[in-house]
């Protein structure tokens, strides 16, 4: 049966550790794997993307495969064809489907009816590929994951949820500080100072995510005290790094000085999308019985 990657919970701790080490190997020698030789991967984008789009398309190419990029409006899915029928058809033509869309139920239905791996490239609820790259970045910077403390500050969104799942698997302590109105139901928020004290990394994300533009001003007001700036970073460990999944809004959720400063690991984090996803594609494609 094909393996999917919808939330990150599909991986065991051992698999996640192996995937992170493999990503680091692939970073050192980008063309060492031809795991997708002769295979095609459909990349479905219902929403805009820079990092995810470019890293997946490049990653499939570097693994020897062919990426079919399908933008909003190019599939009958956008005209009401069901995820079920889409999965049944694509399963007969390509070897994996990666999708960025709004409702998480869409990727679940695709996976339920797909004979090939389905990868979640972001839904309203989860962003698991981002969390893989985040762990690769922490592992690179600190040489380990077990026992690290990661502070997430800001909006309790899909990125926070995926970090929570990935951190638990990896043995990373995640401390979340969000306004009460914007918290994650899965993990209680703690005061900001407590969250960042002793942290190896402070992570933030945009205050107004894609599709959340309705109460943008209200959210900005609630989130203003949670800005990742020099003052907040100084309350973490001396060697703490700043993380942001991008795109950033300097002056809102992160100061310009932190984003472009010496302690920013943001650009490594963005690059690591490529290496982490190649390792993921290798793992998932190996679940296909015949290729």
Integer-rounded Cα Rg, in Å, for the chain is 19
50 or 234, CB closer to ligand CP?
A: 50
DSSP for 98-119, please give it. Answer: EEE-S-HHHHHHHHHH-SS-EE
For residue 111, give both structure tokens. 């996976």
CB of 25 to ligand CP, least distance (A): 23
Cα(268)–Cα(275) distance, rounded to whole angstroms?
11
CB of 150 to ligand CP, least distance (A): 17
For the chain, the farthest-separated pair of C-alpha atoms sits apart, in whole angstroms, at 55
Q: Which of 246, 252, 268, 288 binds ligand CP (CB under 6 A)?
A: 246
* Segment contacting ligand CP by CB under 6 A, of 17-25, 59-67, 169-177, 241-249: 241-249
Residue 126 near residue 108, CB atoms below 8 Å: no
| Residue 270 dihedral angles phi and psi, to the nearest 5° | -65, -45
Using CA of residue 229, residue 231, residue 236, residue 237, what is the dihedral sign? positive
Q: At what angle do helices 128-142 and 266-285 cross, to 10 degrees?
A: 120
233 or 274, CB closer to ligand CP?
A: 274
Size of the site for ligand CP (CB under 6 A): 9
- Residue 245 interacts with ligand CP (CB under 6 A)? yes
Give the residue from 103, 236, 245 showing the smallest Cα distance to 173: 236
- Each residue 23-52 as x (binds ligand CP by CB under 6 A) or -, in order, gives --------------------------xxxx
Any residues with CB less than 8 A from the CB of 89 and at least 6 apart, and which? none
88 or 246, CB closer to ligand CP?
A: 246
CB of 238 to ligand CP, least distance (A): 28
50 or 286, CB closer to ligand CP?
A: 50
* Segment contacting ligand CP by CB under 6 A, of 166-174, 191-199, 224-232, 242-250: 242-250
- Each residue 92-131 as x (binds ligand CP by CB under 6 A) or -, in order, gives ------------------------------x-------x-
Residues near ligand CP (CB under 6 A): 49-52, 122, 130, 245-247
């Amino acid at each position: 049966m094909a393996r999917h990657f919808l939330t990150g919970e599909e991986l065991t701790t051992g698999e996640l550790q192996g995937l992170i080490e493999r990503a680091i190997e692939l970073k050192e020698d980008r063309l060492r794997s031809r795991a997708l030789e002769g295979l095609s991967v459909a990349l479905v984008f219902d929403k805009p993307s820079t990092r995810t789009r470019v890293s997946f398309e490049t990653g499939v190419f570097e693994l020897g495969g062919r990426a079919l990029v399908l933008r909003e409006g190019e599939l009958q899915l956008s005209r009401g064809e069901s995820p079920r029928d889409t999965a049944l058809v694509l399963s007969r033509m390509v070897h994996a489907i990666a999708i960025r869309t709004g409702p998480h139920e869409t990727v679940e239905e695709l996976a339920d009816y797909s004979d090939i791996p389905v990868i979640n490239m972001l839904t309203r609820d989860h962003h698991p590929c981002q969390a893989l790259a985040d762990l690769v970045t922490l592992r690179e910077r600190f040489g380990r994951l077990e026992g690290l403390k990661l502070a997430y500050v800001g909006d309790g969104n899909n990125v926070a949820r995926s970090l929570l799942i990935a951190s638990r698997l990896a043995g990373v302590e995640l401390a979340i500080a969000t306004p009460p109105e914007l918290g994650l139901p899965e993990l209680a928020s703690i005061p900001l100072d407590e969250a960042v004290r002793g942290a190896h990394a402070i992570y933030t994300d945009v205050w107004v995510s894609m599709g959340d533009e309705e109460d943008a001003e209200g959210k900005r007001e609630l989130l203003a005290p949670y800005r990742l700036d020099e003052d907040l970073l100084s309350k973490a460990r001396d060697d703490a790094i700043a993380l942001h999944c991008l795109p950033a809004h300097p002056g809102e959720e992160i100061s310009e000085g932190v984003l472009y400063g010496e302690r920013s690991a943001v650009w490594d984090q963005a690059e690591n999308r490529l290496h982490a996803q190649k390792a993921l594609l290798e793992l998932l494609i190996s679940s296909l019985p015949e290729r």
